[in-house]
Amino acid sequence: MTTTDILTFECETGNYHTFCPISCVAWLYQKIEDSFFLVVGTKTCGYFLQNALGVMIFAEPRYAMAELEEGDISAQLNDYQELKRLCLQIQKDRNPSVIVWIGTCTTEIIKMDLEGMAPRLEAEIGIPIVVARANGLDYAFTQGEDTVLAAMAHRCPSSPASLPGGESSDSNGQTIPIAPKQSPKKQSVLDIFNSKVSKPIQTVNSSQFEHSNHPPLVLFGSLPATVASQLTLELKRQSIHVTGWLPAQRYADLPVLTEGTYVCGVNPFLSRTATTLMRRRRCKLISSPFPIGPDGTRAWIEKICSVLGVEPVGLEQREQSIWNGLEDYLQLIRGKSVFFMGDNLLEVSLARFLIRCGMVVYEIGIPYMDKRYQAAELALLEKTCLEMNVAMPRIVEKPDNYHQVQRIRELQPDLAITGMAHANPLEARGIHTKWSVEFTFAQIHGFTNAKDILELVTRPLRRNDSLQELGWNQLVKNNVLNNVV
């Protein structure tokens, strides 16, 4: 591998070898607690969701399939009437605050006018209907969330008085929002448990910022409630108040977006949402690295502080204390090499963190790269490589997997972070692998969750060390004994 002093970008125009973006339903329906997701597609989409989300069989899912049959595709049936029937059934059974229609490849191919039908049906049944296109023709795995949040950004109120559910006045004549009334519905045991262990993040409206020293700040990106609370607390320690999150845990709590509101993302795959917030809602984007790893979290907080005119305090000591607690993991990966094949658009941030940990990154494959939205992250990656005195990795957009496998064979990295489809073939060729999808569902943001990233990265390496210590002869013996038992 040749050493370079600058980042190199290539594009191989390969296919999206990723999970289907409709899988964003898996985490979004849990994040937005009063929502219901209706995926409009074929039986293939239904089979995918059934298998991809099968790990949550004990949860009570709030999503369903509107399956397109031969009659629909040949335009013999009335799409509007069928969607109306399903939405009325959803309203009767679940009474959600919002229904999100997820368009798939099929709706794109047959040109279904979901955006045209949604406002008419919304007025007829009285429930907000948000349309998001998450088809695998145009979007990679995690970009499904991006399309949903971009659609929801249009629904955020422009003032506290325009919050969903109307308004009323208090004794002083001040306007206060009222949440929409909902009929009581039966709760499962899991819902009751989650409501006790995962309390919603408290948000404040813009009028409360009369007592703060900076403009309103809204963070966007779907994170578990505990992780979002951690990031909110980290900013609070710097005397920065978070107005709200997009998405909120309840549809009625969508953040107020006024012209000039500052917004900052927490994930690198939300470029469409960022563009919508800037162009449609006239918000000001804080371009920062993403809070992944201690180094990224510190840089994220520092950038927000600098934009809002706040002097950060104690961040260097905070970051160093986290690194000290990770030393056992760092000893396992220092000097090891890693190759990213590309799947979930988290690759640049993860690669930057692992380089800081002492690893060598040969290549960063990524399905889609928005250099404007990830400009700060790319700058931090370049700075990290220079400080660690390692070669700049090549960044390959839309990589061709055949060519990537040839490069992996030549480079022989210690670890390949890849999609599920390529893990077993690479393992058969002696390359240790880790599923990239695991980083999507793991809690990897903030100072305290850096350990979870290293736990995932070191697991295949630790497994290999254990096998070597055990010895192949002993391993075969144990396998024989297990088969006998």
H or E element that contains 401: helix 401-411
Side by side, the strands of the sheet bearing 129-133 are 63-67, 35-41, 98-103, 129-133
Q: Which residues contact 100 (CB under 8 A, 6 or more apart)?
A: 28, 35, 36, 37, 38, 129, 130, 131, 132, 148, 151
* Torsions phi, psi for 329 (to 5 deg): -70, -40
Residues in the chain, total: 485
Q: What is the pLDDT of residue 213?
A: 81
Residue 457 buriedness (CB in 10 A; 0-12 / 13-18 / 19+):
buried
Give the integer Cα–Cα distance in Å for 41 and 98: 20
- Bin 358: left if φ > 0, else alpha if -120 < ψ < 50, else beta: left
> Tokens for 4?
């370079």
* Torsions phi, psi for 274 (to 5 deg): -60, -40
> Tokens for 445?
């943001």
Give the integer Cα–Cα distance in Å for 31 and 22: 15
Q: What is the pLDDT of residue 122?
A: 94
Q: What is the pLDDT of residue 66?
A: 86
Q: How far is CA 5 from the centre of its chain?
A: 31
Helix axes 293-308, 315-325, angle to 10 degrees: 170
Going through 25-149 in order, the beta strands assigned E by DSSP cover: 35-41, 63-67, 98-103, 129-133
> Tokens for 199?
């309390």
**pLDDT tens over the chain, length 485 residues:** 444 678 889 988 766 677 788 888 888 988 999 999 999 988 888 888 877 766 554 456 778 888 877 666 656 567 888 899 999 999 999 999 999 999 998 888 888 889 999 999 999 999 999 999 988 888 888 899 999 999 999 999 998 765 554 443 333 333 333 334 343 343 443 343 344 333 444 443 444 434 458 899 999 999 999 999 999 999 999 999 999 999 999 999 999 999 999 999 999 999 999 999 999 999 999 999 999 999 999 999 999 999 999 999 999 999 999 999 999 999 999 999 999 998 889 999 999 999 999 999 999 999 999 999 999 999 999 999 999 999 999 999 999 888 999 999 999 999 999 988 888 999 998 899 999 989 998 999 999 999 999 999 999 988 776 655 555 445 444 554 344 33
| Pick from 125, 35, 130, 34: nearest CA to 87 | 125
CB contact at 8 A, 12 and 400: yes
CB burial of 269-308 (b: ≥16 within 10 Å; e: otherwise) equals: bbbbbbbbbeeebebebbbbbbbbbbbbbbbbbbbbbebb
Q: What is the pLDDT of residue 59?
A: 54
Give the integer Cα–Cα distance in Å for 25 and 56: 12
Q: What is the pTM of this model?
A: 0.83
Cis peptide before 128 (omega within 30 of 0): no
Q: What is the pLDDT of residue 55?
A: 52
Give the integer Cα–Cα distance in Å for 13 and 1: 23
Say what the alpha-carbon torsion angle 329, 331, 334, 335 is, to the nearest 10 degrees: -140
Give the integer Cα–Cα distance in Å for 389 and 404: 25
> Is residue 394 helix, strand or coil?
strand
> Which pairs with CB-CB distance under 8 Å and at least 24 residues apart come from 299-303?
299/376, 299/380, 300/264, 300/266, 301/234, 301/235, 301/238, 303/264, 303/376
> Which pairs with CB-CB distance under 8 Å and at least 24 residues apart come from 169-178?
177/205, 177/252
For the chain, domains (ranges, CATH) are 8-15+317-470 (3.40.50.1980), 21-139 (3.40.50.1980), 201-313 (3.40.50.1980)
Beta bridge partners of 417: 340, 434
Sequence letter at residue 163: L
Helix axes 375-388, 293-308, angle to 10 degrees: 130
Beta bridge partners of 435: 418
Q: What is the pLDDT of residue 335?
A: 93
